[in-house]
């Protein structure tokens, strides 16, 4: 058996498949990653500062630039690609993602099983009163001339409901993702460099729980040597192929 068949047969027998996805799954949808060769932060180190909580809260000029950048973000019009769509058929017990683009839900994955570790760009949150609203509202206000729109309820600093550097993850989302990793039969890491914690920490947790580990990423990851199978192919090809292999191996019902 080749690696695809082997991984497909594990997935077919698995009672609890957990998938972790990173920026690499969305690059084929036209959303640039951060740390890759063409990454946002690789090409413009200043952009990384914009993703730091302390700087964002302290610097109105930086916030104005963030809102302007947001208006032109390719992520608003991005469509799910074949990798996102294939995962709908795999139907994992948990689809944990480091992405904030909402493309798994757009593709049709069950929102109740998608765990957005780093939040979502489709909502805003007020840093003072934690009021959450659709991002579209704030974008409309920016287009109408508010260059740093404050919270409509309390006047506090408004930010995208995503996790910036220096900001803790939502403990409930992290707890549920960790629990899923602990109980996984097969853990599949897709398009993530596995360099950012606590997301990457789900891999050793799943391994300790006895999961088979499948990694697909263009570049090497720190966990390749403990993986059972590693793929380097573009995700838009390998994920549909993996799910097709899973379907073939599944006992007919």
Residues that bind Zn ion (CB under 5 A): 126, 128-129, 131, 151, 153-154, 156
Which CB sits closer to Zn ion, 43 or 153? Answer: 153
H or E element that contains 212: strand 212-216
Active site residue 84: no
Least distance in Å: CB of 148 to Zn ion?
Answer: 14
Task: Quote the CA–CA distance of 153 and 13 in Å, as a whole number.
Answer: 51
CB of 125 to Zn ion, least distance (A): 9
Instruction: Find the shortest distance in angstroms from Cβ 153 to Zn ion.
Output: 5
Supply the minimum distance, in Å, between the C-beta of residue 73 and Zn ion: 23
Give the number of other CB atoms < 10 A from CB of residue 96: 28
Q: What does the alpha-carbon distance between residue 179 and residue 24 come to, in Å, rounded to a whole number?
A: 24
Judged by CB, which is closer to Zn ion: 3, or 131? Answer: 131
- Select 96 or 135, whichever has its Cβ closest to Zn ion: 135
Residue with Cβ nearer Zn ion (68 or 129): 129
> Is 126 or 194 the residue whose CB approaches Zn ion more closely?
126
Catalytic residue, from 84, 118, 122, 130: name it.
118
Shortest distance (Å) from residue 122 CB to Zn ion: 18
CB of 136 to Zn ion, least distance (A): 18
* Dihedral class, residue 166 (left if φ above 0, else alpha if ψ from -120 to 50, else beta): left
Find, among 183, 238, 253, 182, the residue nearest to 8 by Cα. Answer: 238
Instruction: List the structure tokens of 10.
Output: 């594990």
**Residue closer to Zn ion, measured from CB, 153 or 175:** 153
User: Is the preceding peptide bond at 142 cis, omega within 30 degrees of 0?
Assistant: no
Q: Which segments of 79-188 does DSSP mark as H helices, in order?
A: 82-90, 103-107, 135-143, 171-182
Q: How far apart are CA 248 and CA 243, in angstroms?
A: 9
101-109 LR contacts (CB < 8 Å, sep 24+): 101/26, 101/29, 101/31, 101/75, 103/25, 103/26, 103/29, 103/78, 103/79, 104/21, 104/80, 106/79, 106/80, 107/80, 109/84
Question: Rounded to an integer, what distance in angstroms lies between the CA atom of residue 230 and that of residue 7?
Answer: 10
List, by residue number, the catalytic residues.
118
């Amino acid at each position: 058996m080749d690696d695809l068949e082997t991984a497909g047969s594990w997935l077919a027998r698995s009672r609890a498949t957990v998938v972790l996805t990173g920026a690499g799954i969305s690059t084929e949808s036209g959303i640039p990653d951060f740390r890759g060769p063409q990454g946002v932060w690789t090409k413009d180190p200043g952009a990384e500062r914009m993703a730091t909580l302390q700087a964002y809260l302290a610097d109105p000029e930086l916030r104005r630039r963030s809102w302007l950048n947001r208006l032109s973000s390719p992520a608003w019009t991005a469509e799910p690609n074949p990798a996102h769509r294939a995962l709908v058929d795999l139907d994992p017990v948990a689809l944990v993602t480091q992405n904030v683009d909402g493309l798994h839900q757009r593709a049709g994955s069950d929102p109740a099983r998608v765990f957005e570790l780093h939040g979502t760009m489709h909502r805003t949150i007020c840093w003072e009163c934690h009021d959450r609203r659709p991002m579209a509202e704030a974008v409309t206000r920016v287009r109408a001339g508010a260059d740093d729109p404050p919270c409509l309820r309390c006047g506090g600093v408004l930010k995208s409901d995503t996790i910036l550097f220096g900001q803790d993850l939502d403990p409930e989302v992290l707890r549920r993702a960790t629990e899923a990793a602990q109980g996984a039969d097969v853990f599949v890491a897709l398009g993530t460099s596995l360099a950012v914690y606590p997301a990457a920490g789900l891999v050793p947790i799943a391994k300790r729980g006895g999961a088979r580990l499948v990694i697909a990423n263009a570049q090497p990851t720190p966990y390749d040597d403990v993986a059972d199978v590693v793929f380097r192919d573009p995700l838009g090809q390998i994920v549909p192929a993996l799910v097709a292999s899973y379907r073939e191996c599944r006992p007919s019902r």
